[in-house]
Amino acid sequence: MKPAPFAYAKAKSLDHAIELLAHPDGEARLLAGGQSLIATLNMRLSAPKLLIDLNGVEELSGIAVNNGMVEIGALTRHVEAERSDEIAEHAPLIALAMPHIGHAAIRNRGTLGGSIAFADPAAELPACLVALGGEVEIAGPRGRRTVKADDFFMGLFETALDPGDVLTAIRIPAATPGTRVGFAEFARRHGDYAMVGLAASAQLDGQELGDVRLAYFGVGNTPVRATKSETALVEGKIDDAVAALNLDPSDDVQATGAVKKHLAGVLLRRVAAQLMETSR
């Protein structure tokens, strides 16, 4: 199928993008890597009147480490993050997740901001952002604001972004020597969206885990924190952590909810072992 007719405008700057978004003749959508948006247009799942191309807006790209935070511009391509020394050193959970996102061709074009804004419940990056206690930078007609990842993902493909907003960057705490991260997912084939996945972070103090954050994906409408299991892991009780999994995944085309819940427990054991690795 072909998309419904739409007008096209290339944003020259962030302010220009916000201006274009503010006065659309009908619905307007931002175009980043196009890896999700173009498919929805071609399938006529959405039919905006105007596409605003962000590609080329330099201020939205790049990776910087400042004051203990890693900031990743919205237009940063998956492949740039995958190959970045800064991400490998300061954001190791993102580095672990990156190769699981689609295939190389998709990672060449897809952007981190697009993934976070699209908020697919089976996507890796939204869960990583939640697991890391990160935040989202947003610019809109009323200025700039910061939203915590825990508050950003509000429902199925629904976020704290308003129609006139541009997601400009994500920010996560830079890893310290005590930071431990874990990542695992089940997908039918490598590169497919996950049936179930788990992103996790913690702080290791001696042999003790603290500040454990477990964010599942593919098991609900948004990334899902397994808070009771986090507490059990801090107490070193892995069996209790699995038993305490407060997940209620629905059946879908890939698996029943019961299978997903079982897989979530398997992933938790794998990720807990990664978190406990002391020699890093």
Residues in the site for ligand FAD, rule: CB under 6 A? Answer: 29-37, 39, 54, 74, 101-102, 106, 110-111, 113-115, 117-118, 120, 123-125, 161, 166-167, 193
The CA distance from 153 to 19, in Å, is 25
> Which of 18/226 has CB closer to ligand FAD?
18
> Which of 123/233 has CB closer to ligand FAD?
123
> Which of 94/212 has CB closer to ligand FAD?
94
Name residue, tokens 């900031």: 71
> Which of 125/272 has CB closer to ligand FAD?
125
> Which of 59/120 has CB closer to ligand FAD?
120
Minimum CB–partner distance for residue 273 and ligand FAD (Å): 24
Minimum CB–partner distance for residue 162 and ligand FAD (Å): 10
Minimum CB–partner distance for residue 83 and ligand FAD (Å): 16
Minimum CB–partner distance for residue 99 and ligand FAD (Å): 10
E strand spans, the chain: 7-10, 28-31, 50-53, 63-66, 69-73, 135-140, 143-148, 153-155, 158-159, 166-173, 179-186, 196-205, 208-217, 224-225
The CA distance from 129 to 215, in Å, is 9
The CA distance from 45 to 3, in Å, is 9
Minimum CB–partner distance for residue 97 and ligand FAD (Å): 9
Contacts of the segment 232-235: beta carbons below 8 A, 24+ positions apart: 233/202, 233/209, 233/272, 233/275, 234/208, 234/209, 234/210
